[in-house]
Amino acid sequence: MGGNNFNRMHHKKVLSVVIPAYTEEQNIAFMYDAVLTSLQQIMGTYDYEMIFVNDGSKDSTWEEIEKLCAHDPRVLGLNLSRNFGKEIAITAGLEHASGDAVITLDADGQHPPERIPDFVQKWEEGYDIVYNQRPEIPDASFMKRFTSQCFYALFNAMSEFKLEPGATDYRLLDRAVVNAYLRFREKNRMYRGLIDWLGFNKTALVFDAKKRFNGNASYSYRKLLGLAINNLTSFSFFPLKFVGYIGSVIVSLGACILVLQMMDKIGLVHLGFSNLGIVVVINTIMIGIVLMSLGLIGLYIANIHEEVIGRPLYITKGRKNISQITPSHGR
């Protein structure tokens, strides 16, 4: 399933470090050095492999990864044919990881690599999932903080299970967790949400993110909004139910208004209702409800369509130090 074959024959346990990268040409070398420095602290006990996944970058990110692969045979490179998104890039890295445990972190340096030994220590204590819970985001704008809080509040109110606010993709997963995760085949996915859905024995390491090595974040508000909508519709049917609730309330109010109108007509009350005005208001409200319903149903149908057409999760156009054998989906 990818990875270096010698790792499987090695007597040491293997740690796989998966690093998705999009337009990170300035940070690849820095990330490699930082991760390697951290791994050297535990190298006497563990072997390692680093898997860089280039998520269709338009800069020279892939060329920088190729240089590392030529320099260090334990660095594996996977070049996706286009930008499939971070969630899919992480999945691609997990599919090619051969480690007894897999650590996922971003390529920009905000997930501090020096904390890797702390993740490994918790794993040695018996935890299957070790994740970073981040109290604050350095230099984050008020809008980003506010929208993040709104997303978690809305998701946790709507979904059957809860997401922990501030939890990040900086995680260590035991091989059993990786195998279970690779059984998921949906394309609209949330890495953190699916890992939490799996259960297993987990614990958090609480520490702040660091500043990026170089450059600016590539995740725009448009991408974040799209990810939030996909996550909400993937993990909850509440939006559809909510529209039904709104429809029920509107129908009830309309019935009450109709009763008052009839009472006004027969002289039991004197409210001065206009027949045309009542009809216009009721029709307008009902049309709005119908349009909202169609929009939400359309989101779910779009997700169903994308899943059933059976397209692959991603396409690769280049590999370095990785077997050409197509990885299996779980072991």
Q: Kindly report the three-state secondary structure assignment for every residue of 74-138.
A: CEEEEEECCCCCHHHHHHHHHHCCCCCEEEECCCCCCCCHHHHHHHHHHHHCCCCEEEEECCCCC
| 117, 73: one domain | yes
| 82, 110: one domain | yes
| 168, 303: one domain | no
Q: What is the mean pLDDT of residues 277-281?
A: 66
In a domain? residue 39: yes
Between 330 and 233, residue with greater pLDDT: 233
Q: What is the mean pLDDT of residues 246-253?
A: 68
2: confidence class by pLDDT, cuts 50, 70, 90: very low
| 138, 268: one domain | no
Examine the pLDDT at 7 and tell me if it is beyond 60.
no
| 195, 245: one domain | no
In a domain? residue 69: yes
Examine the pLDDT at 42 and tell me if it is beyond 90.
no
pLDDT of residue 108: 86
Query: 23-32, 129-138, 254-263 — which is least confidently predicted?
Result: 254-263
In a domain? residue 255: yes
In a domain? residue 327: no
Tokens at 310, concatenated: 């059976």
In a domain? residue 230: no
| 38, 114: one domain | yes
Q: What is the mean pLDDT of residues 15-20?
A: 96
In a domain? residue 228: no
Torsion over CA: 130, 136, 140, 141 (sign): positive
| Strand arrangement of the beta sheet that strand 316-320 belongs to | 202-206, 129-133, 167-174, 101-104, 13-21, 46-54, 75-80, 316-320
77: confidence class by pLDDT, cuts 50, 70, 90: very high
The span from the CA of 94 to the CA of 327, in Å, is 10
Average pLDDT, the chain: 78
Q: Residues 255-267, buried b or exposed e (16+ Cβ, 10 A)?
A: eeeeeebeebeee
Examine the pLDDT at 9 and tell me if it is beyond 70.
no
Question: Which residue pairs from 11-14 have beta carbons closer than 8 angstroms and sit at least 24 positions apart in sequence?
Answer: 12/45, 12/46, 12/47, 13/45, 13/46, 13/47, 13/99, 13/100, 13/101, 14/46, 14/47, 14/48, 14/49, 14/98, 14/99, 14/100
| 15, 80: one domain | yes
pLDDT of residue 5: 44
| 120, 200: one domain | yes
| 122, 252: one domain | no
Closest-CA residue to 273 (of 284, 285, 258): 258
pLDDT of residue 219: 53
Q: What is the mean pLDDT of residues 170-183?
A: 95
pLDDT of residue 17: 96
Q: Which domain holds residue 213?
A: 5-144+161-219
pTM of the model: 0.68
Query: 9-18, 41-50, 144-153, 192-201 — which is least confidently predicted?
Result: 144-153
| 193, 59: one domain | yes
| 129, 215: one domain | yes
| 209, 298: one domain | no
Number of folded domains in the chain?
A: 2
